[in-house]
Structure 1
Amino acid sequence: MASIYKRASKARYGPEESDDSDMTSDDTSSSSGTIRGDDDLDQVENLQPATPFSSSPPPSNQQAEAAEARKLKQMPTELRNRILMLTSRGVSFRHRHLLNDLSSLLPHSYQDTKLDTKSSNNYNSALNSLADLHSCNYVFFLEARKNAQDLYLWLAKAPNGPTIKFHVGNVHTMAELGFGGNVLKGGRGITVFDKSFDEELAVGGQENKALIREMLRGVFCVPSKGVRGLKPFVDRVVGIYGLDGKIWIRVYELREGSKDSAEDKLAAMDDTTSGVKLVEVGPRFVLTPIVIQEGSFGGPVIFENKMYVSPNMVRREARMKKQSKYTQRTFDKTDRTRKIRGLGLNTGAERKRRVVDDRALFG
């Protein structure tokens, strides 16, 4: 009867007007249902993967290095060029000043101490290791031979090559001849090649000129950015000329003319002049290519200059010529003595008295 009364009262008044016992039973059932629902939600949350947070944590050092490496890979090759410049033991003061002048003109270079090695066979491992240590991809190495009488330039692209060996001659440093030009330290320059280095003309056995052009361009062309201490000024011109099988290198300053000088006043009268003139800065030197190797300081020879004569051979010929002069002079002296003796005109020997001799006539 009680259960029938409860169902009738709920149907008549609704669930809001039910008695306390019904509220108690409903609360108990609802509380127990809530507990069961929480357990089910926990199980569902354990099954579903956690969603990532909207705010990402700060990147670690490895992530930053990886991002920097990706940026470097996206940069052009010219922007990552760096030159390792050093000399061997036994260089003279002129060779040392030449390297200092070139290092001051090229802000993307790193000048290292002298390389102390006895043989050229160690260049492959030593120089490539130094280039890798200082993050350089070009090696500009000056080697002195014969008590600093001969100077050779090894220009290589590390670590895979190629390598070009030059003979360096006619060296004049900045302070030696007193050049009138003056350039800003850390500035950039314009590298100019003459027509002999054009790719259209470097055919028919002259393909080595195109390779030499690319190697010299990587050394003397300063990147536009990515260099420490680089200033946004273009105030110099590096001229590279090919003549008589040699490479002539000159450095000039771009100088704007002043209105006070007489030369600039005369130049201003001519409409074709631009008011910019070139003043030589230095250094100046001449390169003679000897051999090109495929690898970095090693590998097979892909070019050899048949017209090159080593300075040691030139000195030997000079000595032989001097020796031939002495030999000819000695032979002439011996021949003259033999003729005098044959004619009986030797003053050291006693002459035979004749019949009409004074000593024979008058005693």
Structure 2
Amino acid sequence: MGKKNLKRKLKDDKENVETINENEVPLPAKRLSDEPSAKKTKWINRQRVLVFASRGINHRDRHLMEDIKTLMPHHRTEAKMERQKNLSVVTEICESKNCNKAILFEGRRKRDLYMWFANVPHGPSAKFLVENVYTMGELKLTGNCLKGSRPLLSFDENFSIHPHFALLKELLTQIFGVPNYHPKSQPFFDHIFTFSILDNRIWFRNFQILTEDGGLAEIGPRFVLNPVKIFSSSFGGETLWDNPFYISPAKFRQTISKKAGYKYMNRVEQKATQQANKPEVSYALNPLDEIFKGDAMKKAEEINKTEKEKKKVKSVAVGKTVRTKKSKTIIKKKKGKS
């Protein structure tokens, strides 16, 4: 009895499969080039970015790091790295965290912030000085986007002119581009990351897409990346490119203080030269040079008044001298009689 039931079940299954195959439409043998390829729902691009910092960063730099983490759903975190450790340790940390890329925030003197972008473990890596930092909390802009949504990356035309900027473009696309079908990402685009080159620096802005026509609203954060060096391997190796226009912030502050000191020294030297070259006797002016300036009658009256006043002063002085002479003679006569 059992064998008969099994045979019946096998026959029923074969009939069901034949009916399903008859209902299905067979696919064409060839696919045209204009037709879009079938979407794959698998998470193929497994990019993971390790975002962490070394000890000694500022509070503003820490908030900037948190803003970047919110914008990148494919990031992974790590505790602060000690200053004493070498940067080559970062590759080992990335391997332990199963990360392909790394962003390291390195602080100096609690003033200056350096940012490392690296492809682990083979390289290349780039070092940037971060300038003009404005976090989301400082800006308080009206724009907003959903957390975990994928961004569109917009690059300036100047990235394709120079080879070092082309290399940085590829590195930035691999780091900031959120992989498709990432578990923590949303399946749509609602904001844009713009990278533009101005004054040999890379300016980063984040905009929300308001309408399909292209209406944008800035979200934040804002920062400027001043490239310092590009290395062949991750966090070290041979220097592929060195920025000739780069000036360290400590040297820049030193030049400003020197300029202020030079201003004071120039002022003191100018005063000393002015006093040394100043003549002892100034040019003697003739009072009769201004007689014919203005109304002649008024000038004549003024001159008569001044002459009369001088005569009065002289007469008073002569009378005083005569009196003093008489008093002296009288005193002499009295002494002779006595």
TM-score range relative to shorter protein: 0.5 to 0.7
Aligned to 1:218: 174
C-alpha distance in 1, partners of 2:153/2:57?
28
Aligned to 2:95: 132
Q: How does 1:240-259 map to 2 (within 5 A)?
A: 240-256=195-211
Runs of 4+ in 1 over 6 A off after TM superposition: none
Q: Does the C-alpha gap of structure 1 residues 144 and 320 become closer, same or farther in structure 2, counting only changes over 3 Å? A: same
Q: Give the aligned residue type for 2:147.
A: K
Aligned to 2:3: none
User: Does residue 343 of structure 1 match 2:280?
Assistant: yes
Q: Give the aligned residue type for 1:283.
A: P
Aligned to 1:228: 183
C-alpha distance in 2, partners of 1:299/1:228?
35
Aligned to 1:108: 74
Displacement of 1:235: 1.1
Q: How does 1:1-363 map to 2 (within 5 A)?
A: 76=44, 79-118=45-84, 122-124=86-88, 126-145=89-108, 147-198=109-160, 202=161, 206-225=162-181, 227-256=182-211, 274-338=212-276, 343=280
Q: Does the C-alpha gap of structure 1 residues 127 and 287 become closer, same or farther in structure 2, counting only changes over 3 Å? A: same
Displacement of 1:312: 1.8
Q: Give the aligned residue type for 1:247.
A: I
Displacement of 1:337: 4.9
Displacement of 1:80: 1.1
Displacement of 1:332: 3.0
Stretches of structure 2 that go unaligned for 5 or more consecutive residues are 1-41, 283-320, 322-338
C-alpha distance in 1, partners of 2:83/2:251?
25
Q: Provide Cα deviations, 1:78-115, integer angstroms capped at 9, x if missing partner.
A: x1111111112111111111110010010001122221
C-alpha distance in 2, partners of 1:184/1:159?
32
Percent of aligned pairs with the same amino acid: 35
C-alpha distance in 2, partners of 1:175/1:96?
12
Displacement of 1:186: 1.2
Displacement of 1:135: 0.8
C-alpha distance in 2, partners of 1:216/1:276?
23
C-alpha distance in 2, partners of 1:291/1:174?
28
Displacement of 1:275: 4.2
Q: Give the aligned residue type for 1:216.
A: L
Q: Give the aligned residue type for 2:92.
A: S
SS of the aligned residue for 2:145 comes to coil
C-alpha distance in 2, partners of 1:75/1:107?
14
Aligned to 1:66: none
C-alpha distance in 2, partners of 1:325/1:177?
37
Q: Give the aligned residue type for 2:176.
A: F
Aligned to 1:68: none
C-alpha distance in 2, partners of 1:135/1:99?
20
Aligned to 1:24: none
C-alpha distance in 2, partners of 1:170/1:234?
27
Displacement of 1:307: 1.6
Q: Provide Cα deviations, 1:112-146, integer angstroms capped at 9, x if missing partner.
A: 22211236xx001x21111111111111011111x
C-alpha distance in 2, partners of 1:302/1:75?
33
How many residues are aligned here? 243
Q: TM-score, normalised by structure 2?
A: 0.67
Q: Provide Cα deviations, 1:316-347, integer angstroms capped at 9, x if missing partner.
A: 1101100101111222343455457x8399xx
Stretches of structure 1 that go unaligned for 5 or more consecutive residues are 1-73, 257-273, 346-361
C-alpha distance in 2, partners of 1:334/1:219?
61
Aligned to 1:353: none
Q: Does the C-alpha gap of structure 1 residues 338 and 276 become closer, same or farther in structure 2, counting only changes over 3 Å? A: closer
SS of the aligned residue for 1:222 comes to coil
Q: Give the aligned residue type for 2:87.
A: Y
Q: Give the aligned residue type for 1:180.
A: T
SS of the aligned residue for 2:233 comes to coil
C-alpha distance in 1, partners of 2:194/2:277?
64
